[in-house]
A and B are shown apart, each in its own frame.
Chain A
């Protein structure tokens, strides 16, 4: 029983596993997963690896600090690295605290914005 619950919880918490490794982000049935490489730290330039589901195309990316009202001091660039796979270079968190990733994705003729909250501690 316990095992079954754990399995169910595991499945529910990782709906994006089918797209690729990373932290799942979803809204309105659209899904992607992202990973930060190397590990995020204030003042370190990192890349964000994105895997999208169901042929979703990644068209835009930004990172913002909503409580401060500012974004990045650097302009990330998106490169497609394979089917549903993208690498975003040039992300540098210049302050600790709550950040938000913004992914603009296209599904057919509609574009949607997915957001993911993350906290940079150090």
Chain B
């Protein structure tokens, strides 16, 4: 009893304005621990293999992956910018439709890309290589240029498509190693779990208030759930998804269509796992009316470094993102099926708190 009273007192001392109730404590603890344990991708025989990881890292910066030998993965995924590019939308050989996704914490996801068109990191890594707007290369071209390096890691490939997939698998093996470091939030979260009042007190007060909003009234954690701050699914949050004067970005609806039509999905011949242990989401994914114009719920780890935001980079700062949700236009959402999002009408001070919290991730 005495111990409990002391612990409660310690909490009040650390943050005199408020105590932490059990529900909030549980909600906060769900966002850790960090980093997660690395588990190899069973669909990729190169996953976790040091030689493949080293090859993938070299190839990520290698212009031989582009048809015209003028660009590499790293031309858009810039290491100095959290492997994003700082632009609203990507610029390949031609302008792209969506924001360049930062590359971190990619292992073990169900879906990749803003529309989840890939069910593995290697399948997603293959798209930019062959997309005419990006690197515009092909398996045949890569085989001509990279056979020696490839064969040293994978052995000879039976055909050009397998060769292309192997290259993508090496790229994936390296990208899996990109993990955001522990953050100020992680230190706070672990101090909370351990009952370490001094550790908790080190967390900025504004961020702590923002965290309360995030897991509480804001209900942000409903979708930005768990240690990676994403439930790995897709949603419509009222962002315009027109594309040019005469079309739209179909988002998740197009993503599911592309996934199921792809020879590179986990149900196909390139999955190295004969038991298909990670293929169940692909088997069961449902194509729904509401998928039209839905986009990935992005992870918020390291989000401070990945501006601008949203699938089309239309919001320049985290404060703009917070304001968007705070004053969300319910007319943009269907009356049924989307009761999660409600206008919060946050004050500017609350928006600043929310941003202060997000910047600690």
Contacts and interface: CB of A to CB of B under 8 A. Distances in A.
Nearest to B341: A68
B231 A43 contact: yes
Contacts of B283: 90
A33 B65 CA distance: 55
Counting chain B residues whose Cβ lies within 8 A of the other chain, the interface size class is 20 to 34
B286 A75 contact: yes
A95 to B, nearest CB: 5
Contacts of B281: 45, 74, 92
A94 B231 contact: yes
Contact of B284 (A42, A76, A121): A76
B30 interface: yes
Given A43-B232, A90-B280, A73 B286 contact: yes
Interface of B: 26, 30, 110, 221-223, 225-226, 231-234, 280-281, 283-286, 288, 290, 336-340
Interface string A90-109: 10101111000000000000
A77 B288 CA distance: 16
A73 B290 CA distance: 10
Contact of B231 (A45, A74, A95): A95
Given A74-B281, A95-B231, A68 B340 contact: yes
13 contacts: A43-B226, A68-B339, A73-B233, A73-B288, A89-B284, A90-B280, A90-B283, A92-B281, A92-B284, A95-B225, A97-B222, A122-B30, A122-B226
Grouping DSSP codes into helix (H, G, I), strand (E, B) and loop, the A interface class, with mixed when no group exceeds half, is loop
Given A68-B339, A68-B340, A73-B285, A94 B280 contact: no
B337 A95 contact: no
Given A43-B110, A77-B284, A94 B232 contact: yes
A45 B30 contact: no
B337 A42 contact: no
Contact of B338 (A45, A70, A75, A96): A70
Interchain residue pairs A-B with the least CB separation, the first 7:
A90-B284, A74-B284, A75-B286, A94-B233, A70-B337, A69-B339, A45-B280
B163 to A, nearest CB: 32
Nearest to A122: B30
A17 interface: no
A62 to B, nearest CB: 11
A45 B222 contact: no
Contacts of B286: 72-75
A39 interface: no
Contacts of B26: 121
A122 B281 CA distance: 19
Interface in A3-59: 42-43, 45
B30 A74 contact: no
Interface string A60-74: 000000011110111
Contact of B339 (A67, A73, A94): A67
Contacts of B280: 45, 89-90
Given A69-B338, A90-B280, A94-B233, A74 B225 contact: no
Contacts of B221: 96
A119 to B, nearest CB: 12
Contacts of A90: 280, 283-284
Contacts of A97: 222
Nearest to B27: A96
A42 B223 contact: no
Nearest to B286: A75
Given A43-B232, A69-B338, A70-B337, A96 B284 contact: no
